[in-house]
Amino acid sequence: MARHILHVDQNCFYASVEMQRHPELRDKPLAVCGSQEERHGIVLTANYLAKPYGVKTGMAIWQARQRCPNLVILPPDMDEYIRFSRMARDIYEDYTDQIEPFGLDESWLDVTGSVGLFGDPMSIAREISGRIKFELGITASIGVSDNKITAKLGSDYKKPDAITRIEADNYKEIAYPLPVEDLLYVGPATSRKLRAIGIRTIGRLAECPVDVLVRRLGKMGAVLHTFANGRDVSPVQRSDHIPNIKSVGNSATTPRDLETEADVKLMLYLLAESVCARMRELVSRCTVVEIYVRDTQLNSIVRQRKLQAPSCSSQELAETGLDIFRRNYRWDRPVRSIGLRGAGLVEAQGTVQLSLYTEDQKRDKWERIDTAVDHLRQRYGYMSVRRALMDSDPLLGHINVKDGHTVHPVGYFGG
């Protein structure tokens, strides 16, 4: 039986919520931006009056002001955005219990079992669109298809406040001419690789031999070929589905630029303590350590290494991350932000083969020390126990990365 999938994308979500709260700003170019004082001074989202000036998500505030001198800038209010997101979900749940969020402002809905009650998928999409507009005072673009990837393509096709159906009968007509970057999971790096072999549109990607793509992109090449041909069998997870967490990561834009290896070491130890504490809460250990580094020109690198044995030792993760950094960063510019991730999580419980190797014995001791520190911090507060290293820099050493910065992203392939 053919599926009926909707992808609902609330237009310029943060800005739309702010315009709903502040009607006097509806006719002005507006952007919701991070805090300049905390060095997160970038555009998070801009309304449609700001976009013609060239104001884009991720742009520095000073750049946005250069392009649009009359730009109204507001700080984000995440509690309010979460409230609107929950109200939108309440609307979706009137039509299906198969709802999979993709961020606060986007969700996939499987309405296959709902057409008998509410009419065809286009009718359901129109009803949801109308209710979002009437009940929340914002607009949404909705893609209608038989799979998640193409439904997402449909919601991006026309904005704002549009409904686009893309299915087998019109797929090639609509999708094939679109830039390859419009396909979900074709990011800048993948786009460069595809364009290097002459693939600039979704149609060219769909018609390219799979073996060529696999040689160029690895196994992801076959996945993207399937997506480009309008095929995707992944299910929309039910609203009570809890995805398996595959990795735990933490990153921070530091209050000052990191200019020496000592600065980087301090930050990696801070991040490792937070990441490992999260892993212990999940009763897990990681098998891969990954670092993310962004310099002052916003150029970034991501590098990773497989561990010899699963670990949740902050000492081991920090030292591994530092070694990865040393081998891959050339110090052309200072570091603006840095992240550490433990990936390939495995269960920490179960029978473990005892080892006579010194490194394994050290790992066990480090993990037991970390556990003891966890208990002390839970009782007396995060800052009650700290490494002496943290006192070498009062500004960086007093960052509470565990409570202030941690995010658990769930990717599309994680479910």
Cis peptide before 160 (omega within 30 of 0): yes
The Cα 414–Cα 368 span in angstroms is: 30
CB atoms within 10 A of CB 286: 28
Distance CA(312)–CA(50), nearest Å, equals 46
What residues pair up with 258 in beta bridges, in sequence order? 335
Which residues, other chains included, contact 161 with Cβ-Cβ below 8 Å and sequence gap of 6+? Answer: 11, 129, 133, 139, 140, 141
Which one from 106, 167, 316, 367 is the annotated catalytic residue? 106
For 5-60, the pLDDT digits (tens) are 999 999 999 999 999 999 999 999 999 987 665 555 788 899 999 999 999 888 88
Q: Is 106 a catalytic residue?
A: yes
pTM beyond 0.85: the answer is no
Alpha helix segments (H runs only) across 68-157: 78-92, 115-118, 121-131, 148-157
Under a CB-based contact definition with an 8 Å cutoff, are residues 25 and 44 in contact? no
Q: What is the CA radius of gyration of the chain?
A: 24
CB atoms within 10 A of CB 335: 20
Q: What structural domains and CATH numbers belong to the chain?
A: 173-228 (1.10.150.20), 247-414 (3.30.1490.100)
Q: Between the CA atoms of 408, 410, 413 and 414, what dihedral angle is there, to the nearest 10 degrees?
A: 60
Query: What pLDDT is recorded for position 252?
Result: 85
* The predicted structure's pLDDT at residue 358: 58
pLDDT at 34: 79
Amino acid at 190: T
**Which residue stretches of the chain have pLDDT < 50?**
242, 350-352, 354-355, 404-415
Q: How far apart are CA 80 and CA 194, in angstroms?
A: 40
The pLDDT score that the predictor gives to residue 240 is 57
